[in-house]
Structure 1
Amino acid sequence: MSPLWTLLLVWALAAIAMTGAWRWQKARDNAGIVDVVWACGVGGAAIVVALLGDGAMLPRILLAVLGGLWGLRLAGHLWKRVGSEDEDGRYAYLRKHWHGDQRKFFLFFQAQALLVALFALPFLAVASNPVSSLGLLAAIAVWLISVGGEAVADRQLADFRADPANRGKTCREGLWRYSRHPNYFFEWLHWLTYVVLAAGSPLWWLALVGPVLMYLFLRYVSGIPYTEQQALRSRGDDYREYQRTTPMLFPWFPRSESARSEPEGPSA
């Protein structure tokens, strides 16, 4: 199957899945399911593209395994929150802002289906790669570091949130001491896996879409801006102090006590 038809198939499957997710949230007033289905959709796209690709077998096998396991882990982590907690504050805010308008929620869910297709572009580059020996170990190493780091960050935050004494406080433990969003950082890093796997592919440039698009969305669109707005609404001055002392995305040492009163410099 040509890359274009493969991409259209991924989009169609994602649109069907997101329609089901929209109906689920409509019945339960919990739009957090969109994140679970998006992770499943992107992980599933890696498997579909690998199966339908015409490149060398080994990169395609790694694409299916690494992409599928990434999606499964992330979806499982998100489902634990969606299935056991109230609607995420970001989506609760949208529900209030949109006055519960289900037409807007449907369009929002279908926009996520389109994003599944866009994030499948790096997979097309890997699945078209005729070379099976370039950078495979490096790609596995990047995947292990990124997915492992994200899992650690998620666990540290979940443990912090599980303690009633931390209600209304900001997590500064473990990786969260060095980045306000270490889970997002490792999520971004994960997409470099497919850049490495695509080395030698005639469509290698498509692999760059992953890290570039993920950075733009995390930094400027639906990741950090919404998360930090919600954190400021729920934690106020404690989170403002966290913003002053801790890098936004890329991990680094927190600012010293003496520097806390200085204006925050640019961070990514």
Structure 2
Amino acid sequence: MTWADQVKSIVGLVLVTGLTLAIAVPTHLLLYAAVAIGINWVVALVHAIPFQTEKLFDFFGAITFSSLAILSAAVHLAKESNANDYWRSLVLSCLVVVWAFRLGSFLFLRFRNTGKDDRFDEIRTDPVKFLVIWSLQGLWAFITVLPVELIHTQAKSQSSIQASDVIGIVIWIVGFGIEVIADRQKTEFKKDKANQNKYISVGLWYYSRHPNYFGEIMLWIGITVVAAPQLTTAGYIIVSCFSPALVTTLLVFVSGIPILEAKADAKWGSDPHYQYYKKRTSVLIPWFPRNIPEPEVLTP
């Protein structure tokens, strides 16, 4: 590795730390930022970097999310004397733990079956760059859980159920259901030996090329819809919206759809059936396929 690469990695580490502090200090969430980054640094320095492995990456990503949700609930409960004033924030913490446990288990089992994650092929052997990636996971968790952290620390005292509670929880349930069903359908599809080296286009995948990502974006929007109206200032409301904004940005523009679409194009780009599926099927939002004529090569 060149000096330039080392410098870039160090700058990346500084930027991650600086961004974390820039959000945590003015919102009084430094404890949660420290926990999020700390969990990932400990695992990276004790296990991942010495053994050059990403085996525990997704597992401790889920642990980080759960820890933030549980810690914020514990701190809130220790300060609050009236149980009616924290039921809403407690529910949101539970939803985060449920989501994190389900997704973390799914990703960990998938890694155990495959043995590696291609995303880390050029990273796991570079200690500084690998630490940056683990730090980014901590930052990702801290920002994504912001609505829950803020509703535990900066919420108005309102005990009655509001329309935003019902709407937000319904959005979360629908999003969670879509993510779980889509992941399950893809897992079952891959288990069938007849589908080896084939792309999935059945079930929810008939209506969207990435329905699991759509479900994840939805559920974080749902949590924000519940939390945001309860916060004390417009500033905190805006900060809570960083959560679905970050999730959407990462999945749609950075580490989600672009990477998977590139891999799919490399694998099936010359397959006219895949090209037809790609042209007629929504990228993200599940919807009925476009009514476009089949290419002549597919016509019997």
TM-score by length of 2: 0.76
Q: Does 1:73 align with 2:108?
A: no
CA distance in 2, matches of 1:251, 1:151: 15
CA distance in 2, matches of 1:25, 1:232: 31
Can you give the 5+ residue segments of structure 2 that lack an aligned partner in the other structure? 1-23
Residue in 2 aligned with 1:64? 93
Residue in 2 aligned with 1:87? 116
Does the 8 Å CA contact 2:40/2:137 hold for their aligned counterparts? yes
Matches within 5 A, 1:1-268: 4=25, 7-22=29-44, 23-26=46-49, 30-31=53-54, 33-53=56-76, 56-92=85-121, 95=122, 98=123, 100-127=125-152, 128-129=154-155, 130-132=157-159, 133-134=161-162, 135-198=164-227, 199-202=229-232, 203-238=236-271, 239-258=274-293
Paired residue type of 1:158? T
How far did 1:27 drift? 6.0
Residue in 2 aligned with 1:266? none
The CA deviation string for residues 147-202 of structure 1, in whole angstroms up to 9 with x for no partner, is 11111000000001111221211101100111111000000000122222222321
Paired residue type of 1:76? S
Paired residue type of 1:107? V
The CA deviation string for residues 206-227 of structure 1, in whole angstroms up to 9 with x for no partner, is 3211221111111111111112
CA distance in 1, matches of 2:200, 2:55: 21
Structure with max Cα Rg? 2
Can you give the 5+ residue segments of structure 1 that lack an aligned partner in the other structure? 262-268
CA distance in 1, matches of 2:261, 2:58: 18
Paired residue type of 2:263? Q
Does the 8 Å CA contact 1:30/1:86 hold for their aligned counterparts? no
Aligned pair count reads: 255
CA distance in 1, matches of 2:295, 2:35: 49
Residue in 1 aligned with 2:5? none
Does the 8 Å CA contact 2:68/2:149 hold for their aligned counterparts? no
CA distance in 1, matches of 2:59, 2:237: 28
Identity %: 30
TM-score by length of 1: 0.84
Note closer, same or farther for the CA distance 1:8–1:242 as it changes in structure 2 (3 Å cut): farther
CA distance in 1, matches of 2:95, 2:282: 29
How far did 1:260 drift? 6.4
Does the 8 Å CA contact 2:151/2:230 hold for their aligned counterparts? no
Paired residue type of 1:165? A
Aligned Cα root-mean-square deviation (Å): 2.5
Residue in 1 aligned with 2:11? none
CA distance in 1, matches of 2:144, 2:215: 16
Does the 8 Å CA contact 1:181/1:248 hold for their aligned counterparts? yes
Note closer, same or farther for the CA distance 1:197–1:240 as it changes in structure 2 (3 Å cut): same
Does the 8 Å CA contact 2:172/2:223 hold for their aligned counterparts? no
Structure 1 window deviating more from structure 2 (224-233 vs 179-188): it is 224-233
CA distance in 1, matches of 2:59, 2:259: 18
Note closer, same or farther for the CA distance 1:21–1:230 as it changes in structure 2 (3 Å cut): farther
